[in-house]
Amino acid sequence: MLSTFLAVLRRDLLLAWRGRADVLVTLAFFVIVVCLFPFGVGAEPNQLRAIAPGVLWVAALLACLLSLHRLFAQDYSDGTLEQLLLSSEPAALWVTAKVLAFWLSTGLPVVAVAPGLALLLDLEQGALPVLVLSLALGTPILGLLGAVGAALTLGLRGGGMLLALLVLPLFVPVLIFGAGAVEAEMSGTGAAAHLLLLGGGLAGALALAPWACAAALRISTD
Amino acid sequence: MNAPERSRSLFRFAAPHNFYPLAGRLAPWFAAAALVLTLAGLWLGLFVAPTDATQGEVYRVIFIHVPAAWMSMFVYLMMAFWSGVGLVMNTRLSFIMSQALAPTGAMFCFVALWTGALWGKPTWGAYWVWDARLTSQLLLLFLYFGFIALTRAIEDPRRADRAGAIIALVGAVNVPIIYFSVQWWNTLHQGASVSVTKAPSMATTMLVGMLVMAIAAWMYTIAVVLWRARSMILERERHTEWVGAVLEREMQAKGGRA
Amino acid sequence: MQWESWSAFWNMGGAAYFVWGSYGLTFALMALELVLVLRRRKDTVTRLLRWRRAVGKDSARGSAKEGGTPVPAMESET
Protein backbone atom coordinates (compact mmCIF):
# COMPACT_ATOMS: atom_id res chain seq x y z
CA MET A 1 0.00 0.00 0.00
CA LEU A 2 2.73 2.37 0.94
CA SER A 3 4.52 1.56 -2.30
CA THR A 4 1.49 2.64 -4.35
CA PHE A 5 1.31 5.83 -2.38
CA LEU A 6 4.99 6.54 -2.94
CA ALA A 7 4.86 5.56 -6.61
CA VAL A 8 1.97 7.93 -7.35
CA LEU A 9 3.62 10.65 -5.28
CA ARG A 10 6.93 10.27 -7.13
CA ARG A 11 5.28 10.18 -10.51
CA ASP A 12 3.21 13.31 -9.86
CA LEU A 13 6.17 15.18 -8.44
CA LEU A 14 8.21 14.23 -11.49
CA LEU A 15 5.46 15.44 -13.80
CA ALA A 16 5.20 18.66 -11.80
CA TRP A 17 8.95 19.12 -12.10
CA ARG A 18 8.80 18.66 -15.87
CA GLY A 19 5.96 21.15 -16.09
CA ARG A 20 7.53 23.60 -13.67
CA ALA A 21 6.53 26.55 -15.81
CA ASP A 22 2.97 26.03 -14.54
CA VAL A 23 4.15 26.28 -10.97
CA LEU A 24 6.07 29.45 -11.76
CA VAL A 25 2.97 30.95 -13.33
CA THR A 26 1.00 30.19 -10.16
CA LEU A 27 3.70 31.83 -8.07
CA ALA A 28 3.81 34.86 -10.33
CA PHE A 29 0.06 35.15 -10.05
CA PHE A 30 0.30 35.07 -6.26
CA VAL A 31 2.96 37.78 -6.25
CA ILE A 32 1.15 40.04 -8.69
CA VAL A 33 -2.19 39.82 -6.90
CA VAL A 34 -0.55 40.83 -3.64
CA CYS A 35 1.29 43.68 -5.36
CA LEU A 36 -1.97 45.01 -6.82
CA PHE A 37 -3.41 45.84 -3.43
CA PRO A 38 -1.22 48.86 -2.60
CA PHE A 39 -2.30 50.36 -5.93
CA GLY A 40 -5.91 49.75 -5.06
CA VAL A 41 -6.06 50.83 -1.44
CA GLY A 42 -3.11 53.21 -1.23
CA ALA A 43 0.41 52.70 0.08
CA GLU A 44 -0.23 53.96 3.60
CA PRO A 45 1.89 51.56 5.74
CA ASN A 46 -0.51 51.31 8.67
CA GLN A 47 -3.38 50.40 6.41
CA LEU A 48 -1.28 47.89 4.47
CA ARG A 49 -0.12 46.31 7.70
CA ALA A 50 -3.71 45.98 8.86
CA ILE A 51 -4.92 44.25 5.70
CA ALA A 52 -1.75 42.24 5.04
CA PRO A 53 -2.91 38.92 6.59
CA GLY A 54 -6.17 38.98 4.68
CA VAL A 55 -4.56 40.02 1.40
CA LEU A 56 -1.89 37.33 1.60
CA TRP A 57 -4.42 34.68 2.49
CA VAL A 58 -6.92 35.61 -0.19
CA ALA A 59 -4.14 35.73 -2.78
CA ALA A 60 -2.83 32.31 -1.70
CA LEU A 61 -6.36 30.94 -1.84
CA LEU A 62 -6.91 32.26 -5.36
CA ALA A 63 -3.55 30.95 -6.54
CA CYS A 64 -4.49 27.54 -5.17
CA LEU A 65 -7.92 27.72 -6.80
CA LEU A 66 -6.53 28.61 -10.20
CA SER A 67 -4.12 25.70 -10.21
CA LEU A 68 -6.65 23.14 -8.98
CA HIS A 69 -7.82 22.18 -12.45
CA ARG A 70 -4.35 20.75 -13.11
CA LEU A 71 -4.84 18.17 -10.37
CA PHE A 72 -6.67 15.57 -12.47
CA ALA A 73 -7.03 17.12 -15.93
CA GLN A 74 -4.00 15.49 -17.55
CA ASP A 75 -4.60 12.07 -16.01
CA TYR A 76 -8.19 12.31 -17.14
CA SER A 77 -7.38 13.10 -20.75
CA ASP A 78 -4.64 10.50 -21.18
CA GLY A 79 -6.57 7.70 -19.47
CA THR A 80 -4.29 7.28 -16.45
CA LEU A 81 -7.17 8.10 -14.16
CA GLU A 82 -9.29 5.26 -15.46
CA GLN A 83 -6.38 2.85 -15.05
CA LEU A 84 -5.89 3.99 -11.48
CA LEU A 85 -9.60 3.61 -10.75
CA LEU A 86 -9.58 0.10 -12.21
CA SER A 87 -6.61 -0.95 -10.12
CA SER A 88 -7.21 -2.86 -6.91
CA GLU A 89 -5.52 -0.23 -4.76
CA PRO A 90 -7.86 1.82 -2.54
CA ALA A 91 -8.66 5.01 -4.44
CA ALA A 92 -8.52 7.23 -1.36
CA LEU A 93 -4.87 6.25 -0.98
CA TRP A 94 -3.59 7.41 -4.35
CA VAL A 95 -5.93 10.41 -4.29
CA THR A 96 -4.16 11.46 -1.10
CA ALA A 97 -0.82 10.94 -2.80
CA LYS A 98 -1.89 13.09 -5.73
CA VAL A 99 -3.14 15.87 -3.47
CA LEU A 100 0.08 15.72 -1.47
CA ALA A 101 2.13 15.99 -4.66
CA PHE A 102 -0.06 18.87 -5.77
CA TRP A 103 0.47 20.64 -2.48
CA LEU A 104 4.23 20.04 -2.51
CA SER A 105 4.49 21.46 -6.02
CA THR A 106 2.00 24.33 -5.73
CA GLY A 107 1.19 25.04 -2.10
CA LEU A 108 4.66 24.81 -0.68
CA PRO A 109 6.19 27.38 -3.07
CA VAL A 110 3.37 29.76 -2.19
CA VAL A 111 4.05 29.23 1.51
CA ALA A 112 7.75 29.84 0.88
CA VAL A 113 7.22 33.10 -0.99
CA ALA A 114 4.64 34.49 1.41
CA PRO A 115 7.09 35.89 4.03
CA GLY A 116 8.84 37.94 1.35
CA LEU A 117 5.55 39.38 0.18
CA ALA A 118 4.56 40.02 3.79
CA LEU A 119 7.54 42.36 4.05
CA LEU A 120 6.26 44.29 1.03
CA LEU A 121 3.07 44.90 2.98
CA ASP A 122 5.05 45.86 6.07
CA LEU A 123 3.74 42.99 8.16
CA GLU A 124 5.58 42.99 11.46
CA GLN A 125 8.34 40.40 11.52
CA GLY A 126 7.13 38.74 14.71
CA ALA A 127 4.02 37.58 12.87
CA LEU A 128 5.92 35.95 10.01
CA PRO A 129 6.30 32.50 11.61
CA VAL A 130 2.58 32.41 12.33
CA LEU A 131 1.84 33.44 8.76
CA VAL A 132 4.00 30.63 7.40
CA LEU A 133 2.57 28.11 9.84
CA SER A 134 -1.03 29.09 9.11
CA LEU A 135 -0.43 28.84 5.36
CA ALA A 136 1.38 25.53 5.79
CA LEU A 137 -1.59 24.13 7.72
CA GLY A 138 -4.29 25.81 5.66
CA THR A 139 -3.23 25.32 2.04
CA PRO A 140 -3.33 21.50 2.28
CA ILE A 141 -6.97 21.83 3.40
CA LEU A 142 -7.63 23.98 0.33
CA GLY A 143 -6.01 21.31 -1.82
CA LEU A 144 -8.06 18.51 -0.25
CA LEU A 145 -11.38 20.34 -0.51
CA GLY A 146 -10.50 21.62 -3.95
CA ALA A 147 -9.68 18.11 -5.11
CA VAL A 148 -13.32 17.11 -4.54
CA GLY A 149 -14.47 20.05 -6.64
CA ALA A 150 -11.88 19.35 -9.32
CA ALA A 151 -13.00 15.72 -9.47
CA LEU A 152 -16.65 16.70 -9.81
CA THR A 153 -16.06 19.24 -12.59
CA LEU A 154 -13.70 17.01 -14.55
CA GLY A 155 -14.04 17.52 -18.29
CA LEU A 156 -16.97 19.94 -18.06
CA ARG A 157 -17.38 23.00 -20.23
CA GLY A 158 -16.70 26.11 -18.16
CA GLY A 159 -15.36 23.85 -15.45
CA GLY A 160 -13.05 26.53 -14.06
CA MET A 161 -15.76 28.97 -13.05
CA LEU A 162 -17.93 26.15 -11.80
CA LEU A 163 -15.06 24.84 -9.69
CA ALA A 164 -14.67 28.29 -8.12
CA LEU A 165 -18.38 28.46 -7.36
CA LEU A 166 -18.31 25.01 -5.78
CA VAL A 167 -15.25 25.30 -3.58
CA LEU A 168 -14.98 28.97 -2.60
CA PRO A 169 -17.79 28.80 -0.02
CA LEU A 170 -16.07 25.76 1.46
CA PHE A 171 -12.79 27.69 1.65
CA VAL A 172 -14.25 30.38 3.88
CA PRO A 173 -13.57 28.68 7.24
CA VAL A 174 -9.94 28.10 6.24
CA LEU A 175 -9.61 31.74 5.26
CA ILE A 176 -11.14 32.87 8.54
CA PHE A 177 -8.86 30.80 10.73
CA GLY A 178 -5.78 31.30 8.56
CA ALA A 179 -5.94 35.08 8.31
CA GLY A 180 -7.33 35.19 11.83
CA ALA A 181 -4.24 33.46 13.19
CA VAL A 182 -1.96 36.16 11.83
CA GLU A 183 -4.23 38.94 13.03
CA ALA A 184 -4.47 37.39 16.47
CA GLU A 185 -0.67 37.21 16.64
CA MET A 186 -0.42 40.86 15.59
CA SER A 187 -2.95 41.99 18.17
CA GLY A 188 -1.16 40.05 20.89
CA THR A 189 -3.92 37.59 21.77
CA GLY A 190 -1.90 34.63 20.51
CA ALA A 191 -2.57 32.45 17.50
CA ALA A 192 -2.63 29.09 19.26
CA ALA A 193 -6.41 28.60 19.10
CA HIS A 194 -6.58 29.46 15.39
CA LEU A 195 -3.67 27.21 14.54
CA LEU A 196 -5.14 24.34 16.55
CA LEU A 197 -8.44 24.72 14.70
CA LEU A 198 -6.59 24.76 11.39
CA GLY A 199 -4.75 21.62 12.41
CA GLY A 200 -8.02 20.00 13.39
CA GLY A 201 -9.50 21.03 10.07
CA LEU A 202 -6.56 19.50 8.26
CA ALA A 203 -6.99 16.23 10.14
CA GLY A 204 -10.70 16.21 9.36
CA ALA A 205 -10.18 17.04 5.70
CA LEU A 206 -7.47 14.40 5.44
CA ALA A 207 -9.85 11.81 6.86
CA LEU A 208 -12.91 12.68 4.75
CA ALA A 209 -11.94 14.49 1.57
CA PRO A 210 -10.01 11.64 -0.14
CA TRP A 211 -13.07 9.38 0.10
CA ALA A 212 -15.40 12.03 -1.29
CA CYS A 213 -12.83 12.78 -3.99
CA ALA A 214 -12.49 9.11 -4.92
CA ALA A 215 -16.26 8.76 -5.14
CA ALA A 216 -16.43 11.91 -7.27
CA LEU A 217 -13.74 10.58 -9.62
CA ARG A 218 -15.68 7.33 -10.05
CA ILE A 219 -18.81 9.31 -10.90
CA SER A 220 -17.02 11.62 -13.32
CA THR A 221 -15.27 8.86 -15.26
CA ASP A 222 -18.24 6.49 -15.32
CA MET B 1 -38.70 0.20 -13.69
CA ASN B 2 -36.10 -2.50 -13.33
CA ALA B 3 -36.85 -5.64 -11.44
CA PRO B 4 -35.34 -5.01 -8.00
CA GLU B 5 -37.19 -1.74 -7.71
CA ARG B 6 -40.53 -3.29 -8.42
CA SER B 7 -40.03 -6.21 -6.09
CA ARG B 8 -39.62 -4.18 -2.92
CA SER B 9 -43.20 -3.28 -2.11
CA LEU B 10 -42.10 -0.95 0.69
CA PHE B 11 -40.47 1.29 -1.87
CA ARG B 12 -43.44 1.26 -4.21
CA PHE B 13 -43.53 5.02 -4.41
CA ALA B 14 -39.82 5.17 -5.06
CA ALA B 15 -40.68 4.02 -8.56
CA PRO B 16 -41.27 7.09 -10.70
CA HIS B 17 -44.36 5.65 -12.42
CA ASN B 18 -46.05 5.21 -9.04
CA PHE B 19 -44.81 8.49 -7.68
CA TYR B 20 -45.88 10.58 -10.66
CA PRO B 21 -49.68 10.21 -10.26
CA LEU B 22 -49.40 10.36 -6.47
CA ALA B 23 -47.51 13.65 -6.66
CA GLY B 24 -50.09 14.98 -9.10
CA ARG B 25 -52.91 14.16 -6.70
CA LEU B 26 -51.18 15.50 -3.59
CA ALA B 27 -49.65 18.74 -4.88
CA PRO B 28 -52.91 20.73 -5.24
CA TRP B 29 -53.85 19.90 -1.65
CA PHE B 30 -50.52 21.14 -0.37
CA ALA B 31 -50.89 24.27 -2.49
CA ALA B 32 -54.36 24.88 -1.11
CA ALA B 33 -53.10 24.36 2.44
CA ALA B 34 -50.27 26.80 1.72
CA LEU B 35 -52.72 29.41 0.49
CA VAL B 36 -55.06 29.07 3.49
CA LEU B 37 -52.20 29.08 5.99
CA THR B 38 -50.52 32.06 4.31
CA LEU B 39 -53.74 34.06 4.52
CA ALA B 40 -54.20 33.05 8.15
CA GLY B 41 -50.57 33.87 8.93
CA LEU B 42 -50.79 37.23 7.20
CA TRP B 43 -53.96 38.02 9.13
CA LEU B 44 -52.28 37.11 12.41
CA GLY B 45 -49.05 38.86 11.54
CA LEU B 46 -50.35 42.06 10.01
CA PHE B 47 -53.62 42.65 11.85
CA VAL B 48 -53.69 40.75 15.13
CA ALA B 49 -50.12 40.84 16.38
CA PRO B 50 -49.41 43.93 18.48
CA THR B 51 -46.84 46.58 17.67
CA ASP B 52 -43.41 45.71 19.02
CA ALA B 53 -42.42 47.88 21.96
CA THR B 54 -38.87 48.61 20.79
CA GLN B 55 -38.95 48.18 17.02
CA GLY B 56 -42.36 49.52 16.10
CA GLU B 57 -44.01 48.10 13.01
CA VAL B 58 -40.84 47.14 11.18
CA TYR B 59 -40.61 43.92 13.12
CA ARG B 60 -43.51 42.57 11.03
CA VAL B 61 -40.90 41.53 8.50
CA ILE B 62 -40.21 38.68 10.92
CA PHE B 63 -43.27 36.81 9.67
CA ILE B 64 -41.54 36.11 6.39
CA HIS B 65 -37.91 36.53 7.34
CA VAL B 66 -37.75 33.78 9.95
CA PRO B 67 -39.85 31.20 8.06
CA ALA B 68 -37.78 31.84 4.93
CA ALA B 69 -34.51 31.44 6.83
CA TRP B 70 -35.76 28.23 8.43
CA MET B 71 -36.94 26.86 5.11
CA SER B 72 -33.67 27.63 3.37
CA MET B 73 -31.83 25.54 5.96
CA PHE B 74 -34.37 22.72 6.13
CA VAL B 75 -34.47 22.47 2.36
CA TYR B 76 -30.68 22.12 2.21
CA LEU B 77 -30.86 19.37 4.82
CA MET B 78 -33.59 17.63 2.82
CA MET B 79 -31.46 17.95 -0.31
CA ALA B 80 -28.53 16.33 1.46
CA PHE B 81 -30.83 13.66 2.88
CA TRP B 82 -32.24 12.71 -0.52
CA SER B 83 -28.75 12.82 -2.00
CA GLY B 84 -27.53 10.39 0.63
CA VAL B 85 -30.53 8.12 0.08
CA GLY B 86 -29.91 8.25 -3.65
CA LEU B 87 -26.25 7.33 -3.34
CA VAL B 88 -26.92 4.48 -0.91
CA MET B 89 -30.12 2.99 -2.35
CA ASN B 90 -29.48 4.01 -5.94
CA THR B 91 -33.02 5.28 -6.47
CA ARG B 92 -33.47 7.76 -9.29
CA LEU B 93 -36.39 9.44 -7.57
CA SER B 94 -34.21 10.54 -4.64
CA PHE B 95 -31.91 12.45 -6.98
CA ILE B 96 -34.90 14.00 -8.71
CA MET B 97 -36.23 15.13 -5.33
CA SER B 98 -32.96 16.71 -4.29
CA GLN B 99 -32.69 18.59 -7.57
CA ALA B 100 -36.32 19.66 -7.44
CA LEU B 101 -35.75 21.08 -3.96
CA ALA B 102 -32.73 23.22 -4.84
CA PRO B 103 -34.35 26.19 -6.67
CA THR B 104 -36.99 26.61 -3.97
CA GLY B 105 -34.36 26.46 -1.25
CA ALA B 106 -32.27 29.05 -3.06
CA MET B 107 -35.35 31.24 -3.46
CA PHE B 108 -36.08 31.13 0.27
CA CYS B 109 -32.42 31.78 1.00
CA PHE B 110 -32.52 34.90 -1.14
CA VAL B 111 -35.79 36.00 0.47
CA ALA B 112 -34.23 35.60 3.91
CA LEU B 113 -31.28 37.77 2.85
CA TRP B 114 -33.45 40.40 1.20
CA THR B 115 -35.87 40.70 4.10
CA GLY B 116 -32.94 40.64 6.50
CA ALA B 117 -31.40 43.58 4.67
CA LEU B 118 -34.67 45.53 4.66
CA TRP B 119 -35.17 44.77 8.32
CA GLY B 120 -31.59 45.65 9.15
CA LYS B 121 -31.67 49.14 7.66
CA PRO B 122 -34.13 50.66 10.15
CA THR B 123 -32.96 48.53 13.11
CA TRP B 124 -29.17 48.63 12.81
CA GLY B 125 -28.86 51.52 10.37
CA ALA B 126 -27.33 49.47 7.56
CA TYR B 127 -28.70 47.15 4.92
CA TRP B 128 -25.94 44.72 5.51
CA VAL B 129 -23.83 43.94 8.53
CA TRP B 130 -21.35 41.09 8.54
CA ASP B 131 -23.25 39.36 11.26
CA ALA B 132 -22.71 35.63 11.73
CA ARG B 133 -26.22 34.68 10.71
CA LEU B 134 -26.38 36.92 7.66
CA THR B 135 -22.97 35.78 6.50
CA SER B 136 -23.76 32.10 6.93
CA GLN B 137 -27.00 32.65 5.05
CA LEU B 138 -25.06 34.26 2.21
CA LEU B 139 -22.67 31.33 2.05
CA LEU B 140 -25.63 28.95 2.07
CA LEU B 141 -26.94 30.79 -0.98
CA PHE B 142 -23.58 30.21 -2.69
CA LEU B 143 -23.79 26.51 -1.80
CA TYR B 144 -27.22 26.39 -3.45
CA PHE B 145 -25.84 28.13 -6.53
CA GLY B 146 -22.97 25.67 -6.71
CA PHE B 147 -25.32 22.68 -6.50
CA ILE B 148 -27.69 24.06 -9.13
CA ALA B 149 -24.86 25.10 -11.46
CA LEU B 150 -23.14 21.72 -11.19
CA THR B 151 -26.26 19.65 -11.84
CA ARG B 152 -27.16 21.90 -14.77
CA ALA B 153 -23.66 21.83 -16.27
CA ILE B 154 -23.48 18.04 -16.55
CA GLU B 155 -25.47 16.69 -19.46
CA ASP B 156 -25.44 13.01 -18.59
CA PRO B 157 -28.25 12.68 -16.01
CA ARG B 158 -26.58 9.76 -14.22
CA ARG B 159 -23.42 11.74 -13.63
CA ALA B 160 -25.33 14.93 -12.82
CA ASP B 161 -27.36 13.11 -10.17
CA ARG B 162 -24.39 11.62 -8.42
CA ALA B 163 -22.07 14.60 -8.70
CA GLY B 164 -24.84 16.82 -7.32
CA ALA B 165 -25.38 14.37 -4.48
CA ILE B 166 -21.70 14.46 -3.55
CA ILE B 167 -21.53 18.24 -3.48
CA ALA B 168 -24.78 18.43 -1.50
CA LEU B 169 -23.35 16.07 1.11
CA VAL B 170 -20.00 17.85 1.22
CA GLY B 171 -21.88 21.12 1.65
CA ALA B 172 -24.03 19.69 4.43
CA VAL B 173 -20.94 18.53 6.31
CA ASN B 174 -19.46 21.99 5.88
CA VAL B 175 -22.49 24.05 6.87
CA PRO B 176 -21.93 23.64 10.65
CA ILE B 177 -18.21 24.33 10.19
CA ILE B 178 -18.96 27.45 8.17
CA TYR B 179 -21.46 28.64 10.75
CA PHE B 180 -19.03 28.05 13.60
CA SER B 181 -16.14 29.73 11.82
CA VAL B 182 -18.21 32.72 10.82
CA GLN B 183 -19.44 33.14 14.36
CA TRP B 184 -15.88 32.96 15.66
CA TRP B 185 -14.74 35.52 13.11
CA ASN B 186 -17.70 37.72 13.89
CA THR B 187 -17.09 37.87 17.63
CA LEU B 188 -13.49 38.87 16.99
CA HIS B 189 -14.23 41.59 14.49
CA GLN B 190 -17.45 43.15 15.65
CA GLY B 191 -17.37 43.07 19.38
CA ALA B 192 -20.73 43.53 21.04
CA SER B 193 -21.75 46.65 19.13
CA VAL B 194 -24.30 44.81 17.02
CA SER B 195 -26.09 42.12 18.93
CA VAL B 196 -28.39 40.53 16.44
CA THR B 197 -28.45 37.25 18.27
CA LYS B 198 -30.54 38.56 21.11
CA ALA B 199 -34.07 37.38 20.36
CA PRO B 200 -36.72 39.97 21.11
CA SER B 201 -39.25 38.87 23.67
CA MET B 202 -42.24 37.99 21.60
CA ALA B 203 -45.93 38.17 22.26
CA THR B 204 -47.80 34.90 21.82
CA THR B 205 -49.67 36.13 18.75
CA MET B 206 -46.34 37.03 17.12
CA LEU B 207 -45.00 33.54 17.76
CA VAL B 208 -48.17 31.86 16.52
CA GLY B 209 -48.20 34.03 13.40
CA MET B 210 -44.60 33.12 12.69
CA LEU B 211 -45.25 29.41 13.14
CA VAL B 212 -48.30 29.52 10.88
CA MET B 213 -46.24 31.26 8.21
CA ALA B 214 -43.50 28.66 8.64
CA ILE B 215 -45.96 25.80 8.11
CA ALA B 216 -47.36 27.66 5.10
CA ALA B 217 -43.83 27.85 3.67
CA TRP B 218 -43.50 24.09 4.18
CA MET B 219 -46.74 23.43 2.34
CA TYR B 220 -45.75 25.74 -0.48
CA THR B 221 -42.37 24.07 -0.79
CA ILE B 222 -43.87 20.59 -0.89
CA ALA B 223 -46.38 21.60 -3.57
CA VAL B 224 -43.83 23.32 -5.79
CA VAL B 225 -41.28 20.54 -5.39
CA LEU B 226 -43.84 17.85 -6.25
CA TRP B 227 -44.84 19.76 -9.37
CA ARG B 228 -41.26 20.30 -10.41
CA ALA B 229 -40.41 16.66 -9.74
CA ARG B 230 -43.28 15.61 -12.01
CA SER B 231 -41.82 17.50 -14.95
CA MET B 232 -38.40 16.05 -14.26
CA ILE B 233 -39.82 12.52 -14.09
CA LEU B 234 -41.56 12.92 -17.45
CA GLU B 235 -38.32 14.20 -18.96
CA ARG B 236 -36.21 11.36 -17.59
CA GLU B 237 -38.68 8.54 -18.17
CA ARG B 238 -39.65 9.62 -21.66
CA HIS B 239 -38.61 6.27 -23.13
CA THR B 240 -41.01 4.27 -21.01
CA GLU B 241 -44.49 3.11 -21.92
CA TRP B 242 -46.22 4.74 -19.02
CA VAL B 243 -44.94 8.19 -19.99
CA GLY B 244 -46.22 7.46 -23.47
CA ALA B 245 -49.66 6.75 -21.98
CA VAL B 246 -49.51 9.93 -19.89
CA LEU B 247 -48.65 11.96 -22.98
CA GLU B 248 -51.50 10.38 -24.94
CA ARG B 249 -53.91 11.41 -22.22
CA GLU B 250 -52.49 14.94 -22.14
CA MET B 251 -52.93 15.18 -25.86
CA GLN B 252 -56.56 14.05 -25.69
CA ALA B 253 -57.22 16.51 -22.88
CA LYS B 254 -56.00 19.28 -25.15
CA GLY B 255 -58.37 18.12 -27.89
CA GLY B 256 -55.83 16.29 -29.99
CA ARG B 257 -53.57 19.29 -30.40
CA ALA B 258 -50.05 19.40 -29.09
CA MET C 1 -57.25 44.72 15.28
CA GLN C 2 -54.19 46.92 15.38
CA TRP C 3 -55.02 49.57 12.85
CA GLU C 4 -57.21 52.66 12.96
CA SER C 5 -57.55 52.99 9.21
CA TRP C 6 -56.36 51.41 5.98
CA SER C 7 -53.97 54.25 5.36
CA ALA C 8 -52.39 53.64 8.74
CA PHE C 9 -52.09 49.98 7.78
CA TRP C 10 -50.37 50.76 4.50
CA ASN C 11 -48.12 53.28 6.21
CA MET C 12 -46.90 50.66 8.73
CA GLY C 13 -45.88 53.28 11.25
CA GLY C 14 -43.53 54.89 8.73
CA ALA C 15 -41.82 51.63 7.83
CA ALA C 16 -43.91 50.99 4.73
CA TYR C 17 -40.87 50.81 2.45
CA PHE C 18 -39.18 48.11 4.50
CA VAL C 19 -42.20 46.03 5.38
CA TRP C 20 -43.89 46.11 1.98
CA GLY C 21 -40.57 45.78 0.22
CA SER C 22 -40.07 42.50 2.08
CA TYR C 23 -43.57 41.16 1.61
CA GLY C 24 -43.75 42.34 -1.98
CA LEU C 25 -40.56 40.70 -3.15
CA THR C 26 -41.31 37.48 -1.28
CA PHE C 27 -44.73 36.98 -2.78
CA ALA C 28 -43.56 38.14 -6.21
CA LEU C 29 -40.81 35.52 -6.15
CA MET C 30 -43.16 32.80 -4.96
CA ALA C 31 -45.68 33.66 -7.67
CA LEU C 32 -42.90 33.73 -10.27
CA GLU C 33 -41.67 30.33 -9.13
CA LEU C 34 -45.18 28.89 -9.32
CA VAL C 35 -45.68 30.24 -12.82
CA LEU C 36 -42.30 28.89 -13.94
CA VAL C 37 -42.95 25.46 -12.45
CA LEU C 38 -46.40 25.13 -14.00
CA ARG C 39 -45.18 26.42 -17.34
CA ARG C 40 -42.25 24.03 -17.26
CA ARG C 41 -44.68 21.15 -17.03
CA LYS C 42 -46.62 22.39 -20.04
CA ASP C 43 -43.39 22.89 -21.99
CA THR C 44 -42.19 19.42 -21.09
CA VAL C 45 -45.40 17.79 -22.25
CA THR C 46 -45.44 19.74 -25.51
CA ARG C 47 -41.78 19.02 -26.21
CA LEU C 48 -42.04 15.33 -25.42
CA LEU C 49 -45.11 14.98 -27.64
CA ARG C 50 -43.19 16.59 -30.48
CA TRP C 51 -40.22 14.38 -29.73
CA ARG C 52 -42.33 11.21 -29.78
CA ARG C 53 -43.78 12.17 -33.10
CA ALA C 54 -40.32 12.93 -34.47
CA VAL C 55 -38.67 9.66 -33.46
CA GLY C 56 -41.78 7.53 -33.95
CA LYS C 57 -43.71 5.93 -31.14
CA ASP C 58 -42.12 2.50 -31.45
CA SER C 59 -38.54 3.64 -31.29
CA ALA C 60 -39.41 5.99 -28.41
CA ARG C 61 -40.66 2.99 -26.53
CA GLY C 62 -38.03 0.61 -27.81
CA SER C 63 -34.86 2.23 -26.54
CA ALA C 64 -35.82 2.01 -22.90
CA LYS C 65 -32.36 2.83 -21.71
CA GLU C 66 -31.92 6.07 -19.84
CA GLY C 67 -30.51 8.76 -22.10
CA GLY C 68 -30.78 6.57 -25.21
CA THR C 69 -31.95 9.11 -27.77
CA PRO C 70 -31.27 12.78 -27.27
CA VAL C 71 -34.25 15.09 -26.93
CA PRO C 72 -34.12 17.79 -29.61
CA ALA C 73 -34.92 20.89 -27.56
CA MET C 74 -32.90 22.00 -24.58
CA GLU C 75 -33.84 21.51 -20.94
CA SER C 76 -36.12 24.28 -19.77
CA GLU C 77 -34.91 26.49 -16.98
CA THR C 78 -36.39 26.25 -13.44
Tell me the pLDDT tens digit for each residue of C12-52. 877 888 889 999 999 999 999 999 999 998 898 888 888 88
CB distance B240–C61 less than 8 Å? yes
Residue A131's pLDDT band (cuts 50, 70, 90): very high
pLDDT at C4 over 90: no
Give domain status of residue B1, yes or no: no
Tell me the pLDDT tens digit for each residue of B213-248. 999 999 999 999 999 999 999 988 888 888 888 888
CB atoms within 10 A of CB A217: 26
What average pLDDT does the structure give for chain C? 76
What average pLDDT does the structure give for chain B? 85
When scoring B76, B83, B159, B173 by the number of chain A Cβ atoms within 10 A, the one with the most, hence best to mutate, is B159
| Residue A62: per-residue pLDDT | 94
CA-based nearest residue to B28, from C45, C76, C37 = C37
CB distance A158–B153 less than 8 Å? yes
Of B153, B158, B184, the CB nearest to A162: B153
| Residue B200: per-residue pLDDT | 53
A68 burial level (CB within 10 Å; 0-12, 13-18, 19+): buried
Q: What distance in Å separates the CA atoms of residue A158 and residue B163, rounded to the nearest whole number? A: 16
pLDDT at C54 over 80: yes
Distances (CA, A) of C45 to A11, B23, B145, C49, C78: 53, 16, 27, 6, 15
Q: What distance in Å separates the CA atoms of residue A54 and residue A121, rounded to the nearest whole number? A: 11
pLDDT at C62 over 70: no
Tell me the pLDDT tens digit for each residue of B205-220. 888 889 999 999 999 9
Share above pLDDT 70 across residues of chain B, in percent, rounded to a whole number: 88
Residue B56 φ then ψ, to 5°: 75, -145
Give domain status of residue B165, yes or no: yes
Q: What is the sign of the dihedral through the CA atoms of C3, C4, C6 and C7?
A: negative
Half-sphere exposure of A16 (CA within 13 A, CB side): 27
Q: What distance in Å separates the CA atoms of residue B144 and residue B106, rounded to the nearest whole number? A: 6
> B222 versus B127: which is more confidently predicted?
B222
Distances (CA, A) of A78 to A66, A70, A108: 21, 13, 27
pLDDT at A162 over 70: yes
Give domain status of residue B230, yes or no: yes
Chain B interface includes C42 (CB < 8 A)? no
| Residue B29: per-residue pLDDT | 95
pLDDT at B258 over 50: no
Mean pLDDT of B24-45: 93
Give domain status of residue B87, yes or no: yes
Residue A191's pLDDT band (cuts 50, 70, 90): confident
Chain B interface includes A216 (CB < 8 A)? yes
| Residue B49: per-residue pLDDT | 82
* B15, B6 contact by CB (below 8 A): yes
Mean pLDDT of B25-40: 94
CA-based nearest residue to B94, from B75, B106, B80 = B80
| Residue C61: per-residue pLDDT | 56
CB distance C15–B157 less than 8 Å? no
Mean pLDDT of B30-54: 89
Domain range for B181: 27-47+57-253
Chain C interface includes B236 (CB < 8 A)? yes
Tally of structural domains, chain B: 1
* A124, A49 contact by CB (below 8 A): yes
| Residue B10: per-residue pLDDT | 54
Region of poorest pLDDT, from A112-121, A207-216, B10-19: B10-19
Q: What are the b/e assignments for C25-61, b being 16+ CB within 10 Å?
A: bbeebbeebbebbeebbebbbbbbbebbeebeeeebb
Chain C interface includes B17 (CB < 8 A)? no
Give domain status of residue B178, yes or no: yes
| Residue B13: per-residue pLDDT | 72
Residue B35's pLDDT band (cuts 50, 70, 90): very high
SS3 B200: coil
Share above pLDDT 90 across residues of chain B, in percent, rounded to a whole number: 46
CB atoms within 10 A of CB A167: 25
Q: Please report the ipTM that was assigned to this predicted complex.
A: 0.89
